[in-house]
Structure 1
Amino acid sequence: MSVSSGAKRKEGGIGETGRVIFHALIIAVLIRTLLVQPFNIPSGSMKATLLVGDYLFVSKYSYGYTHFSIPFSPPLFSGRIFGSQPERGDVVVFRLPSDTTTDYIKRVIGLPGDKIQVIDGVVNINGQPIKREKVDDFVEVEEGVRGQPVKRWKETLPNGVSYYTLDLVDNGPADNTQVYTVPPGEYFMMGDNRDNSTDSRFSQVGPVPFENLIGKAQLIFFSVYEGERAWEIWRWPFSVRWSRLFTVVR
């Protein structure tokens, strides 16, 4: 039985659509693996640098590639390919050492071999306190509602990188710590919201192996107020933090 030209065109159209979708998926996987990957911020541990509801691009090429760079993280190889060391002060997405299915985002404070200690809320690196100066309080405004002012500090690391941290309470649970010696090939991570961050100061995280680094946070491409849903387009005039769009992560 012969097939009509209309049926042939229909079959050809379906096949072409399938090929286009397949190629698009391959390109998307390659971009996500080799170039950039989008992440969203679900918690306030990096306030005020990153807010709940921020969506950002993370560069996968910044530190090279591990099996964690690949979707679903198949254990195809160990170590890093084209590895490049992070710099002190980078904001990094990494896999939690105790649960490699979970992504965390923190700031690199300690490099391999460093001795890190927090004394009265001040980070000390190799026995020297980093520069820390009080600045204007941080006040979060969500959909017209002003939050309580929170003490904010400007910190400057030994390599000159500066950023802001929040101080929710005096004498917080990790404002005074033991001396941590960062093992070879690992990094000491801290959240900018110092009293609301589970990071390398705590055993749940600890120092982070180089292999667990996913990439460097680069750009906030979208942001909605906490509790809003990015897919609710009809609410964008009120739910989007327009001033945060396309801002560089520092």
Structure 2
Amino acid sequence: MITSISSFFSSLFRRRNSGLNFNRRRRKINFDKVRYVLIFAAEIAAVVLLAFGVVLAFGKQVECSNASMEPTYETSDILLVNTIAYKFAEPKTGDVIAFKPKSNVNASYSVKRVIGIPGDTIYISNGRIYLNDELYKENLEVERIDNPGIAASPITLLDDQYFVLGDNRNSSEDSRYESVGFVSGEDILGKVWLDFPFK
């Protein structure tokens, strides 16, 4: 009886020990493969972030909603706007900008050309623009202005005031009119740099 009990416990002990093999080889981690996977994942993340940043900075789309910028841009043209251009510099005379008229957040973006910048004196006489008492030289062919609006008399722009006009001067609602007026820097989305699809 005692012998059978001792043999039972012996067999039980052997069975338990058989599952514990301290000499079993541990699986090695392949650090080269782990490093390769981590580098690959980091590269993918960097490319995604870069693409997102480029689209955010240069790919903001604005529709030219009317004929005020013809022939430069036509109605329904989709324009790409550089939204970081004026984070490091100020708008210059001749730039085409997208902005919210009168800080109206519910309005669609308007697209116009900057003619006068802060400190400039501007007026329109005999259909032509005078900037700081000199005839403004256009880089494109435009018609004479029929209605000078508020620019019939000289206007000196204050800090953070920009005077904008549409290239289609006689079919444009712009800084000559109270509905648009002067544009402030905080209302400017950015600089129009391309129309899409490309022409």
TM normalised by structure 1 equals 0.54
Shift of 1:127: 1.1
What is the aligned partner in structure 1 of residue 93 from structure 2? 88
The answer on whether the counterparts of 2:117 and 2:163 sit within 8 Å (CA) in structure 1 is: yes
Shift of 1:202: 1.1
- 1:36 equivalent to 2:59? Answer yes
Q: Which has the higher strand share?
A: 1
Q: Which has the higher helix share?
A: 2
Residue of 118, 127, 137 corresponding to 1:112? 118
SS at match of 1:97: helix
- 1:173 equivalent to 2:123? Answer no
Shift of 1:178: 1.6
Q: 1:164 is aligned with what amino acid?
A: E
Shift of 1:35: 3.2
Residue of 73, 80, 84 corresponding to 1:57? 80
Residue of 105, 108, 116 corresponding to 1:100? 105
Distance change (3 Å), C-alpha of 1:100 and 1:165? farther
Q: 2:170 is aligned with what amino acid?
A: D
Instruction: Work out the percentage of aligned pairs sharing the same amino acid.
Output: 32
SS at match of 1:218: strand
SS at match of 2:174: coil
Structure 1's consecutive aligned runs of 4 or more residues displaced over 6 angstroms after TM superposition are 26-29
Q: How does 1:198-209 map to 2 (within 5 A)?
A: 198-209=173-184
* Unmatched runs of 5 consecutive residues or more in structure 1: 1-25, 65-82, 132-154, 156-161, 223-245
The answer on whether the counterparts of 1:98 and 1:205 sit within 8 Å (CA) in structure 2 is: no
The answer on whether the counterparts of 1:183 and 1:207 sit within 8 Å (CA) in structure 2 is: no
